[in-house]
Amino acid sequence: MFFHVILTTRCNSKCQYCYGEALEDIDSDFSETQVDYSLPARINYNINLLAHFCGADPECIVTFYGGEPLLCTDEIKQIIDNVKAKHFMIQTNGLLLGCLEPEYVNRFHTILVSVDGDEALTDSYRGKGTFRKVIDNLKLIKRNGFDGELIARMTVMEQTEIYRQVTWLVSNKEFPFTSIHWQLNAAFWKNDFQRREFKSWSQENYNPSIVKLAKFWVNKMEKEGKVLKLYPLLGIARSLLSNEKESLLRCGGGWINYAIQTDGCIVPCPTMWGMKNYYLGHIRNANPLKLPKVFVNQPCTKCDVFNVCGGRCLYANVTNRWSQEAYNLVCTTVRNMIKAVEDELPGIRELMGKGRISVEDFDYMKYNGCEIIP
């Protein structure tokens, strides 16, 4: 099982799509869902409880999460020292990566770091100077011996030209990434659709760019014999190549991937912190292998691409932050991406036939924090 351990609800950044949107969204209600806004700012349970909880699952994987988890370096060290997990991972904005000693950083199997693309774009979403600080920290941890997987995690919205930004992250000379994931800022907030240009951007910019990106990806395979871990394309391609049917959420939220709040309560995913109707137990007495499961409902369960998409996002599905009409645009991006990968499959199969790449090149650690469907 995978557990996002939310170390703090605080963050040291004020990103446009998180802090900015939260300010605009402050009055919106969650209809039937009761939300506890008064969770402790930092974990208030004894770390032995977490050790005992995780100890009941020999395959337990812990991902440090926040807010910004690196505001809690003491807790990270205590958890790494005392909790028996198969792997530790972290999702961080990267600003404080230099503050954790290398002996701990080097224990991370995977670091997912928020980088939205080049310096201008990252700084425009995340604040001036962010990109430089993060890249300097990434260079530092590499120098200090970190050799796990480093995933650039992009949040994508209207200012992003996805083809240009992903290819830049792959090809830039200063710090090229081989693992990249992106998530659309879509249907997380109640009142943003009306003030945004999501419709025209997704139709005229994002969707055609994804088709181009899929071609770039396969081109790289052909020229360099390398399958880049562009997670949305990789996950879909792997499913299609192996005829895998994904009728469960591909992020794992609510069935194999859960989140532990700062008060020790367990929720289906980190975005659902405080949603009392979805509290699934507490680490003090829950069995990690027997947690209740939560699944997406309609319209996903009746959708013709459900077995590739898996339902995209439980939070979006249960909270209905966007109208059905608006959400259909998101589903169109999913369909477009599946089609873009399907169209490249003959080329991929041909490269496999020639031995240029192999099916194993599409392997990855599932549920590692990359939701696959953006």
* Of the residues 108, 206, 306, 364, which one makes contact with ligand SF4 according to CB under 6 A: 306
* Closest by CA position to 137, among listed 97, 180, 92: 97
Residue 235 interacts with ligand SF4 (CB under 6 A): yes or no: no
Count of positions on this chain that bind ligand SF4 (CB under 6 A): 19
Which residues share a beta bridge with 182? 154
Least Å distance, CB 249 to ligand SF4, is 6
Judged by CB under 6 A, which stretch of 144-152, 218-226, 311-319, 340-348 contacts ligand SF4?
A: 311-319
Residue 300 interacts with ligand SF4 (CB under 6 A): yes or no: yes
Closer to ligand SF4 at the Cβ: 96 or 303?
303
Which residues share a beta bridge with 6? 65
Cα–Cα distances in angstroms (integers) from residue 183 to residues 152, 162, 166, 333, in the given order: 11, 11, 12, 12
Residue 102 interacts with ligand SF4 (CB under 6 A): yes or no: no
Residues of this chain, 244-283, that bind ligand SF4 according to CB under 6 A = 249, 251, 253, 269, 271
Least Å distance, CB 221 to ligand SF4, is 26
Least Å distance, CB 364 to ligand SF4, is 16
Residue 374 interacts with ligand SF4 (CB under 6 A): yes or no: no
Least Å distance, CB 139 to ligand SF4, is 29
Least Å distance, CB 313 to ligand SF4, is 3
Residue 113 interacts with ligand SF4 (CB under 6 A): yes or no: no
Taking the chain, what is the end-to-end CA distance rounded to the nearest angstrom? 22
Least Å distance, CB 300 to ligand SF4, is 3
Closer to ligand SF4 at the Cβ: 148 or 299?
299
Least Å distance, CB 17 to ligand SF4, is 13
Closer to ligand SF4 at the Cβ: 143 or 324?
324
Residue with tokens 């506890």: 36
Residue 334 interacts with ligand SF4 (CB under 6 A): yes or no: yes
DSSP sequence for 221-261: HHHHS---EEHHHHHHHHHHHTT----S-TT-BTTTEEEE-
Rg for the chain, CA atoms, rounded: 20
| CB contact at 8 A, 267 and 275 | yes
| CB contact at 8 A, 361 and 227 | yes
Residue 35 interacts with ligand SF4 (CB under 6 A): yes or no: no
Closer to ligand SF4 at the Cβ: 227 or 266?
266
Residue 66 interacts with ligand SF4 (CB under 6 A): yes or no: no
Judged by CB under 6 A, which stretch of 89-97, 157-165, 299-307, 354-362 contacts ligand SF4?
A: 299-307
Classified as helix, coil or strand, 81 is helix
The three-state DSSP-derived secondary structure of 280-346 is CCECCCCCHHHCCCCCCCCCHHHCCCHHHHCCCCHHHHHHCCCCHHHHHHHHHHHHHHHHHHHHHHH
**Strands of the sheet with 257-260, listed across from one edge:** 229-230, 179-184, 149-156, 108-114, 87-92, 61-65, 2-6, 257-260, 266-267
Alpha-carbon distance of 2 to 199, in angstroms, equals 34
- Name the residues that contact ligand SF4, by CB under 6 A: 249, 251, 253, 269, 271, 299-300, 303, 305-306, 309, 311-315, 331, 334, 371
